Amino acid sequence: MLLDLPFCIVGPMVLVVVPPETFGTECCARFLALAAPFASPVVGLPTGRTPVPLFQTLSDRVQSGATSLARYDAFAIDEYGVDNPLHPCANRAFFARYWDAITGTKPVHQFDPATPDRAAEAQRFAAELAAAGGLDVAVVGIGTNGHLAFNEPGSRPKDRARAVDLAPESRAAASTCFGDATPTWGLTLGLAELLAARRVLLLANGRAKADIVRRALEGPIGPECPASFLQRHPQLTVVLDSDAASALTGQRPPGRLAPC
Ligand code: PGA
């Protein structure tokens, strides 16, 4: 799909493609705009490499007084199955650094992987989210295998928060930080809670994500690529950098070019 950057396609989903240099500012602008209609936005937040520019830009904006996150109620969308929740590679450490450290934020609601009864812990977390009214905005990255949070291939839209075995691709990605101590399992919100979000913001950057982004947005909808279920979400915004968008054919989804 050869178009000048940035470009936006508005159809069943809003698709925004930007140069890599402006990925963070675009993610930040879309996140704030999607959350704006909600008095106290309940947001689901991802970890990993992809959202780092989003959190850094948010932090800068708060620091400069341009915005405040004090009204936000944030929930981690997943966590690694670690014995010590304070492990530096666990998502808890990520949020301590990238969200909790932003002035004025409330601490992120987290799964506790040290709880012996994993199923009960998943239910506790899901109940906490339900008590908050469910997600207003779910921010998600995408794994190279098409996972959303830890909803690995084979996951279905009815799946709720639960403990799962990590797929080989997810373990390989985690091993860059965990090394020999890479977890074999994790706790995750299900596709049910993520797809029930009033708005979803999908973020992807880098060429390594190009093929799975094409499968997720233009391929058949099914459990082989859990992110493909997002095609059915009525309020989906996708922010890609030009590398992650490079395999899109433009055949689907139907939409029209619009000012960004
Ligand atoms: P990444 O992970 O941002 O580190 O690529 C994304 C994901 O696995 O959801």
Instruction: Specify the ligand 1 atom closest to the Cα of 50.
Output: 3
The distance from CA 67 to its chain's CA centroid, rounded to whole angstroms, is: 21
Whether 78 sits among the annotated catalytic residues: the reply is yes
Centre of ligand 1 to C-alpha 146, Å, is: 10
- Assigned token pair, 252: 């689907």
The response to whether residue 49 sits with its C-beta less than 6 Å from ligand 1 reads: yes
Pocket test for ligand 1, best of 142, 194, 213, 243 (most atoms within 8 A of CB): 142
Helix axes 23-35 and 52-63, enclosed angle (nearest 10): 70
Tally: H helices and E strands in the chain: 7, 11
CB 30 within 8 A of CB 16: yes
Whether 4 sits among the annotated catalytic residues: the reply is no
Instruction: Specify the ligand 1 atom closest to the Cα of 149.
Output: 9
pLDDT digits (tens), the chain, 260 positions: 667 788 887 767 899 999 999 999 999 999 999 999 999 999 999 999 999 999 999 999 999 999 999 999 999 999 999 999 899 999 999 999 999 999 999 999 999 999 999 999 999 999 999 999 999 999 999 999 999 999 999 999 999 999 999 999 999 999 999 999 999 999 999 999 999 999 999 999 999 999 999 999 999 999 999 999 999 999 999 999 999 999 998 776 556 777 77
Q: How far apart are CA 185 and CA 150, in angstroms?
A: 9
Task: Identify the pLDDT of residue 213.
Answer: 97
Centre of ligand 1 to C-alpha 205, Å, is: 10
Task: Identify the pLDDT of residue 2.
Answer: 60
C-beta neighbour count of 111 within 10 angstroms: 30
CB 76 within 8 A of CB 111: yes
